[in-house]
């Protein structure tokens, strides 16, 4: 069953994330992706995440596609103008890549090439429209394509953005622009997430809750301080602290497994997007503890 | 106005070390207000060059350095011999002023002493911020009069990105999120609906470098 079919069937859908490395040695990430085979419904491949230059998302999508995994191509507007974006989308399509996640992209200021010229010719909502156009056989200028794409396109949303109103307006714009599914920024407070979902459920879109694996109390504090839209509640930080340094990762896995179980059992959303950030080998264990395997 | 900043003096002296005599050309408009090309800065530059054993043949603060013809007439009338005598013209205004001098002195090296930074609004004396990018097609009517092309580091047109955080920008906590500002402004003027429509991709061809405009020709065409 494809990712699209899984979501549309009502199955609680699970995606994971793979960040291609900087450099041509892909042994480690290929190994980690092997571990996900037969377990997750799809794997997001990040696009120069945090504006740090790495292997192209499209290239690595093709690698995991050939391994038998279903890739979700993350495509940001940071590095390519509208010609480059459309050309790369057509290129991804002929490689057999079916899913694309449209994002604006972290500013180069966050990354390792701070002197780069920023592009942002278009942004996430406009990119979703572009994908919709390509699916309908037209480029951005309305020119006919010789062969349309067949993408299942999605977008991101930050349920705990502050202020929330402009975020929700953008969420609706993305739906208008053709988003079929959303993967959210990391959430840790399920009750707050329920509030967001009661709004999101008004729209015909699928929502996968974003979950970032907590590896230590320090990491949680760091994210609270520096990552927009992430709020790890004090109780969870307490849990990690109590577990002690050696058991903190284990506690983080427990927290995520517990959250997944609740999201699924209470039918809060349509699935989860697991971001293990450097501990991708733990994804099967998280899924096992959540009762998904 | 055009906001300028003095280049590093050591770096500047290194660039012009092969020349021995200079004519200094300032500007009474933006560069004077920025403190980069008015009378005091010309005096300061003269002293610096002289302390390095260089000769300054003359100094002049042009009325409007980006007006090529006006500046040419001013110099030729009042400082012809001083400027002619110099091996090199140092322009203490913006990149536009520097290139006026290049037009006027076709056979003389012309060096800028400043970096040109942005088109700025002066909020208080010598405090400037950038509000307009001269993009060629104004969209302020859609955005509550706050320009996202300029005020947002990504220049995006459909609301805040994921990096917005309590009214601040992901690029720096010192930068206000442009789209939070726009949202608050539209709310205050009861025009939030302006933000609901998906903005089309921007027409960047409206600013195709190098831009030119001949108002006189347009007027003539209008008469026909």
Alpha-carbon span A152 to A206, nearest angstrom = 12
B159: left (phi over 0), alpha (psi -120 to 50) or beta: left
Q: Does B151 touch chain A (CB under 8 A)?
A: no
How many Å lie between the alpha carbon of A263 and the closest alpha carbon of chain B?
Answer: 23
pLDDT at position B224 is 73
The answer to whether the peptide bond before residue A196 is cis (omega within 30 degrees of 0) is no
Looking at the domain assignment, is residue A38 inside a domain? yes
Closest partner residue to B198 (CB to CB) among A118, A176, A229 is A176
Looking at the domain assignment, is residue A254 inside a domain? no
Q: Does B103 touch chain A (CB under 8 A)?
A: no
Q: Which residues contact A16 (CB under 8 A, 6 or more apart)?
A: A36, A40, A43, A44, A273, A274, A275, A276, A280, A283
Closest partner residue to B183 (CB to CB) among A121, A162, A166 is A166
pLDDT at position A38 is 95
Nearest 5°: the CA angle A291, A2, A104 is 95
Q: Are A78 and A118 in contact (CB under 8 A)?
A: yes
Instruction: Give me A197's structure tokens.
Output: 């979902």
Q: Are B62 and B72 in contact (CB under 8 A)?
A: no
A196: left (phi over 0), alpha (psi -120 to 50) or beta: alpha
pLDDT at position A140 is 98
Total Cβ atoms within 10 A of residue B53: 7
Closest partner residue to A121 (CB to CB) among B164, B192, B204 is B204
Output the CA torsion sign for A156, A157, A161, A166.
positive
Looking at the domain assignment, is residue A287 inside a domain? no
Q: Cβ–Cβ of A170/B196 closer than 8 Å?
A: no
* Chain B positions in Cβ-Cβ contact with residue A161 (cut-off 8 Å): 160, 162, 164
pLDDT at position B223 is 80
How many Å lie between the alpha carbon of A233 and the closest alpha carbon of chain B?
Answer: 17
Instruction: Pick the closest to residue A169 from A23, A133, A16, A161 (CA basis).
Output: A161
Residues 203-222 of chain B with CB under 8 A from chain A are 204
Q: How many domains does chain A have?
A: 1
Q: Which residues contact B159 (CB under 8 A, 6 or more apart)?
A: A125, A166, A167, A169, A170, A173, B179, B183, B195
Q: Cβ–Cβ of A229/B167 closer than 8 Å?
A: no
How many Å lie between the alpha carbon of A68 and the closest alpha carbon of chain B?
Answer: 31
Instruction: Give me B133's structure tokens.
Output: 């990018």
Closest partner residue to A125 (CB to CB) among B158, B179, B192 is B158
Size of interface A-B (CB pairs under 8 A): 93
ipTM attached to this prediction: 0.94
Looking at the domain assignment, is residue A237 inside a domain? no
pLDDT at position B219 is 85
Alpha-carbon span B89 to B56, nearest angstrom = 10
Instruction: Give me A278's structure tokens.
Output: 């450097």
Please report the domains of chain B, with CATH numbers, ordered by start residue: 2-118 (3.40.50.2300), 134-200 (no CATH)
How many Å lie between the alpha carbon of A193 and the closest alpha carbon of chain B?
Answer: 17
Closest partner residue to B198 (CB to CB) among A107, A110, A173 is A173
Q: Cβ–Cβ of A163/B183 closer than 8 Å?
A: yes
Instruction: Pick the closest to residue A41 from A253, A238, A293 (CA basis).
Output: A293
Q: What is the pLDDT along chain B (224 residues), one digit of tens a residue?
A: 999 999 999 999 999 999 999 999 999 999 999 999 999 999 999 999 999 999 999 999 999 999 999 999 999 999 999 999 999 999 999 999 999 999 999 999 999 999 999 999 999 999 999 999 999 999 999 999 999 999 999 999 999 999 999 999 999 999 999 999 999 999 999 999 999 999 999 999 999 999 999 999 888 888 87
Alpha-carbon span A164 to A184, nearest angstrom = 14
* Chain A positions in Cβ-Cβ contact with residue B196 (cut-off 8 Å): 169, 172-173
pLDDT at position B222 is 81
Q: Cβ–Cβ of B179/A124 closer than 8 Å?
A: no
Output the CA torsion sign for A282, A284, A285, A287.
positive
Instruction: Pick the closest to residue A100 from A210, A186, A181, A16 (CA basis).
Output: A181
Alpha-carbon span A220 to A224, nearest angstrom = 6
Helix (H, G, I), strand (E, B) or coil at B129: strand
Chain A residues contacting B, CB < 8 Å?
Answer: 78, 82, 103-104, 106-107, 109-110, 118, 120-126, 129, 140, 156, 158, 161-163, 165-167, 169-170, 172-173, 176-177, 185, 228-229
Looking at the domain assignment, is residue A267 inside a domain? yes
How many Å lie between the alpha carbon of A146 and the closest alpha carbon of chain B?
Answer: 23
Q: Which residues contact B224 (CB under 8 A, 6 or more apart)?
A: none
Closest partner residue to B198 (CB to CB) among A107, A166, A177 is A177
Q: Does B53 touch chain A (CB under 8 A)?
A: no
Q: Which residues contact A83 (CB under 8 A, 6 or more apart)?
A: none
Q: Cβ–Cβ of A177/B183 closer than 8 Å?
A: no
Instruction: Give me B213's structure tokens.
Output: 């405009």
Q: Cβ–Cβ of B156/A123 closer than 8 Å?
A: yes
Structural domain harbouring A170: 3-215+259-280
Instruction: Pick the closest to residue A160 from A84, A86, A229 (CA basis).
Output: A229
How many Å lie between the alpha carbon of B171 and the closest alpha carbon of chain A?
Answer: 6
Alpha-carbon span A98 to A70, nearest angstrom = 8
The answer to whether the peptide bond before residue A163 is cis (omega within 30 degrees of 0) is yes
The whole-angstrom distance between residue A130's C-alpha and the CA centroid of its chain comes to 19
Cα R_g (chain A), whole angstroms: 18
Looking at the domain assignment, is residue A234 inside a domain? no
Instruction: Give me A235's structure tokens.
Output: 């109780």
Q: What residues in chain A have per-residue pLDDT under 70?
A: none
Alpha-carbon span A263 to A257, nearest angstrom = 10
CATH of the domain at A44: 3.20.20.220
The whole-angstrom distance between residue B106's C-alpha and the CA centroid of its chain comes to 23
Alpha-carbon span B45 to B90, nearest angstrom = 10
Give the chain A residue whose CA is nearest to the CA of B163: A228
* Chain B positions in Cβ-Cβ contact with residue A177 (cut-off 8 Å): 198
Q: Cβ–Cβ of A120/B160 closer than 8 Å?
A: no
């Amino acid at each position: 069953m494809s990712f699209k079919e899984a979501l549309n069937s009502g199955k609680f859908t699970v995606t994971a994330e793979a960040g291609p490395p900087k450099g041509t040695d892909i042994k480690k990430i290929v190994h980690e992706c092997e571990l996900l085979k037969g377990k997750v419904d799809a794997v997001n491949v990040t696009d120069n995440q945090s504006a740090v230059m790495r292997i192209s998302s499209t290239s690595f999508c093709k690698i995991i596609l050939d391994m038998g995994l279903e890739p979700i191509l993350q495509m940001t507007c940071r590095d390519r103008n509208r010609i480059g974006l459309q050309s790369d989308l057509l290129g991804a399509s002929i490689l057999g890549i079916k899913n694309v996640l449209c994002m604006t992209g972290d500013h180069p200021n966050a990354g390792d090439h701070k002197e780069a010229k920023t592009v942002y010719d278009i942004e996430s909502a406009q990119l979703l429209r572009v994908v919709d156009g390509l699916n309908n056989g037209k480029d951005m200028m309305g020119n006919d394509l010789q062969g349309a794409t067949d993408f299942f396109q999605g977008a991101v949303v930050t349920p705990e953005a502050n202020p929330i109103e402009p975020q929700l307006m953008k969420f609706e714009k993305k739906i208008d622009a053709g988003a079929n599914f959303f993967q959210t920024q990391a959430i840790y407070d399920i009750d707050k997430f329920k509030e967001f979902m009661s709004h999101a459920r008004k729209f015909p879109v699928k929502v996968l809750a974003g979950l970032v694996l907590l590896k230590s109390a320090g990491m949680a504090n760091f994210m609270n301080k520096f990552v927009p839209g992430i709020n790890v509640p004090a109780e969870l930080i307490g849990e990690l602290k109590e577990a002690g340094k050696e058991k903190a990762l284990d506690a983080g896995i427990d927290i995520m497994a517990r959250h997944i179980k609740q999201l699924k059992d209470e039918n809060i959303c349509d699935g989860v997007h697991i971001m293990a950030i450097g501990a991708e080998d733990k994804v099967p264990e998280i899924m096992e503890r959540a009762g998904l395997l | 106005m055009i906001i300028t900043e003095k280049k590093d003096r050591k770096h500047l002296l290194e660039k012009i070390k092969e020349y021995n005599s200079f004519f200094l050309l300032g500007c009474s408009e933006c560069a004077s207000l920025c403190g980069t090309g008015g009378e005091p800065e010309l005096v300061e530059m003269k002293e610096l060059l002289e302390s390095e054993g260089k000769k300054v043949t003359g100094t002049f603060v042009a009325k409007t350095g980006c007006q090529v013809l006006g500046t040419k007439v001013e110099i030729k009338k009042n400082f012809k011999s001083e400027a002619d005598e110099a091996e090199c013209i140092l322009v203490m205004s913006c990149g536009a002023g520097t290139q006026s001098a290049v037009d006027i002195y076709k056979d003389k090296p012309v060096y800028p002493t400043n970096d040109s930074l942005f088109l700025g609004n002066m909020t208080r004396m010598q405090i400037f911020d950038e509000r307009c990018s001269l993009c060629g097609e104004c969209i302020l009517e859609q955005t509550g009069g706050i320009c996202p092309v300029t005020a947002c580091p990504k220049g995006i047109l459909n609301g805040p990105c994921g990096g917005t955080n309590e009214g601040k920008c992901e690029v720096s906590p010192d930068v206000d999120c442009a789209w939070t500002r726009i949202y608050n402004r539209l709310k205050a003027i009861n025009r939030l609906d302006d933000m609901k429509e998906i903005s089309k991709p921007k027409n960047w061809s409206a600013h195709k470098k190098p831009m030119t405009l001949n108002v006189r020709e347009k007027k003539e065409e209008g008469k026909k």
